[in-house]
Amino acid sequence: MDFVRADPRGPYAGAVVSMVGYRQRGITQRLHRGLPSPFLTFVVALDSPVVVGEREDDDAPLAAYDMLGPLATRPAFIDQPDSQEGVQLAVHPFAARWLLGAPASRLPGLALDLGDVLGPSAAALRQRIGDTGDWHERFAVVRDFLATRARTANGAAVTPPRPEVVEGWRWIVAHGGNGRVDDLAAHVALSPRRLRAVFVDELGLGPKALGRLVRFERAVAMVRDQVARPGAQSLSDVAARAGYADHAHLVHEFQEMAGTSPTGWLAEERRNIQAGGHAGAAG
């Protein structure tokens, strides 16, 4: 089991939050939960398609080699093959405009076939990544793809998000997802109703839902750290630090957004966490 990380530097710095190569063999756990995140998930799978359902027993899942996970507040259920290899990016939703040709609000559901969004360039990217087995070269291919998208008409001339949404995002992150919507509305000089409208227009989610995602991602990172430092903090400590009312509130949020409890998620993902599969952006 290998997880290789790269610095997503380049003209798109800040647009790509993390860039990870993965190679896993002998997978015995068939179900993987794709956790909600304030970032888009961009996956290029090399040896087998990604199979994503809305439920554990989804009888009509989406299967694609090149997959995009939009913003969502519920988990995606991924049916894992015996082995898998590919590259995964966590992409800032504001970058959807220049990378994907549409704001994040135009990307519905839990998963999309990247070919339906990017056209033939998605398959061409997978082909170029698959032509080499060297991770350094693979990441160079991804960086070149991102740089090309950034400087083309699709990227360079794209209309930026509204400044109120950009500043609102910064404010929400700075407050760990715990600030009051009324305070945010006052900060960007919009009414709460207008604030929600501009957020939904750009992201498909209102500021309250985005704050929930930011807070949940922080909590997941804290829960994940228990594998490296067992007993360092209790779930009650995590709840307090992340901004939840109490332990029960944290567990309820995990049930809502992950479909399992914090301890249940740790039990499922411990092997991946120990291998470095959850370092950085949660998911």
Q: Which of 156, 187, 208 is the last residue of a domain?
A: 156
**pLDDT tens digit string along 156-213?**
678 999 999 999 999 999 999 999 999 999 999 999 999 999 999 999 999 999 999 9
From 156, 173, 204, the end of a domain falls on 156
How far lies 22's CA from each of 26, 92, 207, 224, in Å? Answer: 13, 20, 33, 19
Helix (H) or strand (E) holding 185: helix 181-187
Is the domain of 186 the same as that of 146? no
Mean pLDDT across the chain: 91
Q: What backbone torsions phi and psi does residue 39 show, to the nearest 5 degrees?
A: -120, 155
Task: Report pLDDT digits (tens) over 230-271.
Answer: 877 899 999 999 999 999 999 999 999 999 999 999 998 888
pTM of the model: 0.92
Task: Residue 195: name the closest of 203, 205, 210, 206 by CA.
Answer: 206
User: How many domains would you assign to the chain?
Assistant: 2
Query: Which runs of consecutive H residues, i.e. helices, occur in 34-162?
Result: 96-100, 114-118, 120-130, 135-151, 153-156
Helix-, strand-, coil-residue percentages of the chain, each rounded to 5: 45, 20, 35
Residue 41, pLDDT above cutoff 90: yes
Give CA–CA dist 152/158, Å, rounded: 9
CA–CA gap between residue 50 and residue 34 (Å, rounded): 11
118 and 173, same domain (yes or no):
no
CATH number at residue 15: 2.60.120.10
Nearest-Å Rg of the Cα atoms of the chain is 19
Distance (Å, whole) CA 71 – CA 91 = 10
Whether residue 199 sits in one domain with residue 82: no
254 shares its domain with 168: yes
The pLDDT of residue 278: 59
Domain range for 209 is 162-278
pLDDT at 26 over 70: yes
Whether the Cβ atoms of residue 20 and residue 88 lie closer than 8 Å to each other: yes
What is the pLDDT confidence band of residue 27, given thresholds at 50, 70 and 90?
Answer: confident
Domain membership of residue 283 (yes or no) is no
